[in-house]
Each structure stands twice: as C-alpha cells, then as structure tokens.
Amino acid sequence: MAAGGALIAGAYEHPERKLPNASVPQIFADVARGALADAGLRLSDVDAVYCDGSLGGLSGLSLSEYLGLRVSHLDTTDMGGSSYLAHVGHAAAAIAAGKARVALILLAGKSGPTGAARNADTPPETGFEQPYGGTTVAEYALAAQRHMYEYGTTAADLAAVKVAASHHAQYNPNALLPKKVTVEEVLESPYISDPLHRLDCCVMTDGGGALVMVSEDVARSLDRRCVRVLGHGEAVKHGDAGRRDLTSTAAARSGPAAFAEAGVTPADIDYASIYDSFTITVLLALEDLGFCAKGAGGRFVRDGALQAPGGVLPFNTDGGGLCNNHPVNRGGMTKVIEAVRQLRGEANKEVQVPNCRLALAHGNGGSLATRAGAATLILEAEDA
C-alpha cells in the first residue's frame, strides 16, 4: 500500500455539536467543502466517493448527485463506527490500483436512531435478540463485567480512560464536554448499566467530518503537508454460534494486519486515536492491538499513561467520543482526523505530541457482546 502512494491531504471536522436547523445533506456538503479546502482541491477534482449507509436509500448515488460529483469509483461499505477507517484502506487500495486519484470520504448526520433502525426487521439476528431488550450500553457492560471477572479490572481503571480524555478536552474549544473530571467523579456518576457509569459513556452529537485522499502525483501538486497511509487492517468478530470470548475484539486481527503491512510495531507508535464509545472499548482495544498484554489494560491506563504530551501512549487528544464529538453515534471519522492533526503538528498546542511521526487510528463498529467490525490504520507524517 505504501508503494502505491496513497496520502491524506485534507481533513475537516464540523465545529458544531448541535445542528437543529441544518439538514443532513447540508452537513454533508459543509464537511465535503471543508476537507477539500483543507487539501487545496475542489469538488470538480473528486473522482471517488466513500460513505456509510446511514443516510438510507442509495447513499452514494444520492450524495454524488447532491454534491454535483462525477465519480468513477464508489464505496458504501458500512461497518458502523469503523466504516471510515475501512474507507481509508479501500481508497488507498483503489488509488494504488489506479482506480482513483482524489477520493472523498464522508460522515454526516444527527444523533438519535441510526439508519439501521429503519431496517430493524431485516438482519437475521433480530428475532433472537430484539424480543429480549438488549441495548448497546448493556452489551458493552457485559464485556466490562467479564473483563473484571477474568482479570481483576476495576471501575477505577475504566475511569482512568475518561479522565485522560477529559484532560485533553479541556483544551478543545469545540468539545461538547470540556470539563476535566477525576476518577472519583466518574465513579460517583449514575450507573447506566453496571459497571458502566454515565461518564464511562460517549457523548451523542450532530455533525460529521470528511477526509480527502490523493495519489502521489496529486499530493506533489498541493501546497499542503500530507499524511501517508502505511498500513490498514480489517476484521469482523461475532457470536460464532455461542463460542464467544467477551474479553477480546476484532482488533486482535485488524491490528496485527495493519502493523505487518506498515512494517512497524506497537512500540513505534507515537500517538493513538482509539475508538471510545465506552471506556471498556478503549481498554480492550489497547490489549488486542498489542500495546499491553491481555488482561493488563487496567494497569496500563493507570497514572496518566494515556495523557498527552508526556504519557506512554497519548490518545484521543481532541477529547474523543467520551468528551468531544461522536457524530450520528459513529466515532471513527474523528479518530482519523485527530491522528492527521497530530502528524501535521496541528493538534491543540497543550496536547500536541512532540515530533509525532507515526500514529495509529482504530475504529470499532457494532457491539462487543454480539458482532462488531474493526478497522485499524497506521499513518505516517509525510516528511518523516
């Protein structure tokens, strides 16, 4: 993939978190224009579009028409919150194969019921799960309870993830929850589903974001520092007819694939953007991506290990989904955007990682207790 020369030239996160007067198509247009302006390109330069299916209908065709795009490559892969990291990998492969030169990757929407809810009678698992009242937070709490049972992880360990995110969010003027919190405050917040407290859960926001990926020759023509895609991995994990380990995720396969393609190891990573729908999501991902041993996630996150700029592994320096932004209940796009900021040296100055050369971005979509898709990226500063 690296030899194919796929680079991220533009990245844009919608600055608003509540958009009551904007339609979803308008949000798509805003983030598309923002990312293209960041790259120094125009809508007329785009020849490939990537989006999820949450818009409903024929999302990619509708967006292409709405934005006035003439595309020759279209991808509407939907892996929930990890979709946009998967799109980066797919776009990189298309660019390497000569199928595209300027790819636009899009996320936009409003918080509340997702597109999947409109087709709730379609998936094969519906009749086995929906009657029993399973909820997203309860399913993640199930994974957290099992990890506590197996490895002695504590609620305070989970809270340390939120504390690190809030430490970063206090420096982000756009963060929905900019207040720094303590472990005690997390533990004192109400239970949503034991052992997860309210402050263990992500925010819900409107908005979106976009990325522009380009070929090597296009990148050379731009007056913009780009970020190179070194490695990409995807994986799916599901119930496997009841043979389910609640303490591991699809990251155990997507991570090694991305590292192998990039030719680097977890020890080489300067900064990590890790999907944080809940605090337990981060803890399991840290283990499965190889930053610590299985079961050691709780010990790893203690004592500020995730805090920038001086922690062992600075993470989610925008405040992440726990504090900053989680557009339309899907947090993968913002993970890539913040990784790009770090590699360009454009993160908020208080949390910018010095000499940031290599970054990991990881997304998870679905539910840890039922079925989920993971996508992992290894990114490199262009002049590294």
CATH classification at residue 69? 3.40.47.10
Q: What is the extent of the structural domain holding 325?
A: 133-203+231-381
Average pLDDT, the chain: 93
3-state secondary structure of 347: coil
Do 90 and 211 have their domain in common? yes
Do 194 and 332 have their domain in common? yes
Under the banding of pLDDT at 50, 70 and 90, the label for residue 184 is very high
Alpha carbons 316 and 124: distance in angstroms, whole number: 35
Alpha carbons 13 and 335: distance in angstroms, whole number: 10
Do 301 and 212 have their domain in common? no
Alpha carbons 136 and 141: distance in angstroms, whole number: 9
Under the banding of pLDDT at 50, 70 and 90, the label for residue 123 is confident
Alpha carbons 206 and 216: distance in angstroms, whole number: 34
Do 176 and 221 have their domain in common? no
Q: What would the pLDDT profile of 45-60 be if each residue is shown by its tens digit? A: 999 999 998 787 788 9
Do 149 and 99 have their domain in common? no
Do 102 and 151 have their domain in common? no
Q: Residue 183 to residues 81, 162, 223: CA-CA distances in angstroms?
A: 27, 8, 44
- Nearby residues of 184 by Cβ (< 8 Å), 6 or more positions away: none
The continuous run of DSSP H or E covering 373 comes out as strand 372-381
Name the domain count of the chain.
2
- pTM value is 0.94
In a domain, 193, yes or no: yes
Length of the chain: 384
In a domain, 119, yes or no: no
- Nearby residues of 271 by Cβ (< 8 Å), 6 or more positions away: 308, 313, 314, 315, 317, 339, 342, 343, 353, 356, 358, 359, 360
> In the prediction, which pLDDT does 113 show?
52
> In the prediction, which pLDDT does 10 show?
98
Token pair 């990114």 in the structure block, residue? 379
Do 222 and 238 have their domain in common? no
Question: What string of DSSP letters covers 140-159?
Answer: HHHHHHHHHHHH---HHHHH
Q: What would the pLDDT profile of 297-322 be if each residue is shown by its tens digit? A: 999 999 899 999 999 999 999 999 99
Do 237 and 377 have their domain in common? yes
Do 38 and 150 have their domain in common? no
Do 73 and 172 have their domain in common? no
3-state secondary structure of 125: coil
The beta-strand segments (E) located in 264-307 are 271-274
Alpha carbons 284 and 374: distance in angstroms, whole number: 12
Do 285 and 149 have their domain in common? yes
pLDDT above 90 (res 329): no
Q: At what angle do helices 83-96 and 332-344 cross, to 10 degrees?
A: 60
